[in-house]
Amino acid sequence: MTKLLKSITAFAFAVIVSGNVFAQNEQTGIWATDITDTSAIIHYHTDVWEGAKAVGLTLKFYIQNDDYYVQEEALDIDDKEYYCHITNLHPNRTYHVQFIPSYQGTAGMAEDNEGTFSTNFSFEVNGICYNRILNSNNLCEATFSPNKYENTVNIPKEVMHEGKTYTVNAVDRTCFNDCVNLTSVLLPESVQKIGDSAFVGCFGLDSIILTSETPAEMGEDVFKGLNLNNVILHVPCGTKQEYKKHPKWTFFTNIEEDCGDNGIDEAILDNAVIVYPNPAKDRLTISADGEVSIINSLGQVVKFCKSVNGISEINISDLERGVYYIKVKNAIKKLIVE
């Protein structure tokens, strides 16, 4: 265990390539290949044997900031190189590994027998990265993007990848970490959990739109370091008190209920917002200045963005067919989604 934690010496022999750490000289050391979202092949090679024969190899394997895992599985390739195929990993995570060989006789061993590598996220749809949730057939979670999220992010209830439909039921821990240009996020009613430190460093965040009548559970330090007095929390009509009494959501001082058209006369304000095409199917262009909300027949905000130079372009391909309302300030326009 002591040696496992002495990573400074080991990491001094490594360089980072695309988020994964490989030995500078693959003649000795540890490196990873064939990395996917849930598996990787870990290699270990050393030239320092001094006539001894390795009779066993233990891989100590642990995930950063989580519990330790121990696995004894290694295949001897040529008396000097070993590999392990590690499976059932969590997508988009950083792992540390250490090889500890056992010997008959005496032998030395290369110092760089520790390293780190990162699994990939599972897939990307419309600029949002997702992880498949292990042991689940059709669930996924929104996860961190190497490109960093910015402006407005609308997470859909469902996404399709390679012909399969996944329900988005969580936001991964550190999903929006240090996305300093992120201004607003919409979370669908399918999201039941928000992971640890999900919004840490999102200093430009000014609004969160929630469409679930039941507050999502949250991990630790989800909004650590943010001034929540500057963030407006939009919740479904009639649920403000439910969110205010929740131990994690109660820290928001600005909670607003989205209650459909709020009594606005659509006939009077219809021409204040220009929408095309209407009816629409995949994409929508809105000509109006200010924050744009698309509201369903239940009064829930299902899309949200801020116009750029008076123009907003919104992907609505994930919306169900039906009647919606586009709201800009106090103006409302009816939208038909085919």
Domains and CATH numbers, the chain: 2-118 (2.60.40.10), 123-258 (3.80.10.10), 266-337 (2.60.40.3080)
Three-state SS at 190: coil
Q: How confident is the model at residue 263 (pLDDT cuts 50, 70, 90)?
A: very low
Q: How confident is the model at residue 62 (pLDDT cuts 50, 70, 90)?
A: low
Residue 164 has pLDDT above 80, yes or no: yes
Residue 193 has pLDDT above 90, yes or no: yes
Q: How confident is the model at residue 103 (pLDDT cuts 50, 70, 90)?
A: low
Residue 131 has pLDDT above 90, yes or no: yes
Tokens of 37: 């979202």
Q: Could you give the C-alpha distances from 256 to 43, 222, 247, 299, in angstroms and in order?
A: 54, 20, 18, 13
| Residue 128, C-beta contacts closer than 8 angstroms, at least 6 positions apart | 142, 145, 149, 153, 155, 159
Q: What is the pLDDT of residues 83-97, one digit of tens each?
A: 777 777 888 888 877
The torsion region of residue 35 among left (phi > 0), alpha (psi -120 to 50) and beta comes to beta
What is the pTM (predicted TM-score) of this model?
0.69
Tokens of 22: 């490989």
Q: What is the pLDDT of residues 314-323, one digit of tens each?
A: 888 888 888 7
Q: What is the pLDDT of residues 218-262, one digit of tens each?
A: 999 999 999 999 998 988 888 888 999 998 898 999 998 877 544
Find the range with the poorest average confidence among 127-141, 151-165, 254-268, 274-288.
254-268
Residue 266 has pLDDT above 70, yes or no: no
Distance of alpha carbon 120 from alpha carbon 219, whole angstroms: 22
Evaluate the omega torsion of the peptide bond into residue 279 and state whether it is cis, within 30 degrees of 0.
yes
Residue 165 has pLDDT above 50, yes or no: yes
* Under 8 Å between Cβ of 126 and 315: yes
Tally Cβ neighbours within 10 Å of residue 19.
14
Q: Could you give the C-alpha distances from 119 to 34, 88, 97, 174, in angstroms and in order?
A: 10, 11, 13, 15
Evaluate the omega torsion of the peptide bond into residue 277 and state whether it is cis, within 30 degrees of 0.
yes
| Residue 53, C-beta contacts closer than 8 angstroms, at least 6 positions apart | 79, 103, 104, 105
Distance of alpha carbon 333 from alpha carbon 245, whole angstroms: 34
Q: How confident is the model at residue 215 (pLDDT cuts 50, 70, 90)?
A: very high
Segment (H or E) for 233: strand 232-236
